Structure 1
Amino acid sequence: MSQAEIDALTTEFFGSFDNRDGKGADVARLRGLMLPGGVIVVTAPEYHAYTVEEFIGPREELLAPGGRVTGFHEWEVSARTEIHGGVASRVGEYAKAGVMEGKPFEGGGMKTIQFVRTPDGWRISAFAWHDRP
C-alpha cells in the first residue's frame, strides 16, 4: 500500500505545477503535500534553498494565468523508490515543457523526494532538483 500512496502523492506533487489550458497552477497545494517545515533545494542552474512558503509565492506568480510561464507541465520519466518503515526516498528523472514569455521550451533533470509517514498519511519532508543545462 505504501508504494501506491507514494506514487499518488508524487503524481499530485507534479500536478501542482500544471497550468495548461489557461488555468493557474495550484502550487499552494504543496502546503498539504509537504510537512510545514519541509525543505526545498535547487542545485542548478543556481543553488538555492527554500522553505515551503518561500517556494510557493514566486511560483504562484510565475504560473498564474497571464504569468511569465504558460502551458506548463512536468512529469516523471523514470523513478526508483525505497521504503523503509515510515521513511521513503524517491529519485527520478523528470521532463518539463511550457511557454516562457511567448517562447516554447522543454527541459528536464533529476529530482529526489524524501517522504515520511505521519499520523495523517505520507507527506513530503524535502525535495531537491537539478535541471539539465
Structure 2
Amino acid sequence: MTLPNQRAESTSARPEQHPEFERMVADFFRSVSFEEGEKPNYKHIHELFIEGGKLIKNSLDTPEISSVDEFIDSRQKSVDAGDLTSFREIERAAITEVFGNIAHRLSTYEKRGRLKGKQFEGRGVISTQFIKTPSGWRMSSMAWDDERPGLTLPDRYEYEKASAP
C-alpha cells in the first residue's frame, strides 16, 4: 500500500499558518481567567470543544478526568462558594503540529489566583488535541500537569512564542 506524501507542519516556526490554534487556546484561557470582583466566562468553553471533549488535570497521583460540563461545574461551584476569587492563566510558549484533520499543541503556561484567601501561582504544560470538523477546528481533549518539587519545565520549553506581544 502506498501512502500519499503529506508532511506534518510545525507552527512553532511559522505561527501565521494556523492562527486558529493560538486563538482557541487564548479563548480558553480568557474563559477561565477573571480578576477579583469579576466572574469567569466558563460557558464559552463549550464553543471550543467537540461534544464529548475531555479536560484532564494530571497533577496528582490520580488523573482528574472531566467532561466539559463537569469541568465547568466544579470550577463554577468554587467561584460561587467564594473559594476561588481570582484566576489568570496565560500561554507562554507553544509548539503546534498539524497533520491533515488532526493537530496537537503543546503549551507552557503560567497561572496565578486566590483560592480560599491564599494567593497561588504556578507553571506547567498543557497538551491540547484538535480535530477538524465540518464547522471548523475544535478541541477534543486537553491534559495538563503542573510543576512541583521534582518536576520542572525542561529548558527546551523555556522559549517565547514568536507572536507574543
| Aligned residue among 112, 117, 140 for 1:97 | 112
* 1:22 match: secondary structure: coil
Q: Greater share of strand residues, 1 or 2?
A: 1
1:58 aligned onto 2:63? no
Aligned to 1:8: 23
Which segment drifts farther, 46-55 or 8-17?
A: 46-55
The aligned length equals: 132
TM alignment of 1:10-29, pairs within 5 A: 10-29=25-44
Identical amino acids, percent of aligned pairs: 33
1:129 aligned onto 2:140? no
Q: Is the 8 A contact 1:19 1:63 kept in 2?
A: no
Structure 1 residue 95: Cα displacement: 0.6
What do residues 57-78 of structure 1 show as CA deviations (whole Å, max 9, x unaligned)? 01112234x6211221101111
**Structure 1 63/52 Cα, relative in aligned 2: closer, same or farther at 3 Å?**
same
1:48 aligned onto 2:67? no
| Runs of 4+ off more than 4 Å | none
| Aligned residue among 46, 66, 79 for 1:31 | 46
Greater C-alpha radius of gyration: 2
Query: Hey, what's the Cα distance between the residues in 2 that align with 1:99 and 1:21?
Result: 9
Q: Is the 8 A contact 1:40 1:126 kept in 2?
A: yes
What do residues 83-119 of structure 1 show as CA deviations (whole Å, max 9, x unaligned)? 1121110011111001112221111211000011111
- TM-score of the pair, normalised by structure 1: 0.91
One-letter identity of the residue aligned with 1:62? S
- TM-score of the pair, normalised by structure 2: 0.74
One-letter identity of the residue aligned with 1:63? V
Runs of at least 5 residues in structure 2 that lack an aligned partner in the other structure: 1-15, 149-165
Runs of at least 5 residues in structure 1 that lack an aligned partner in the other structure: none
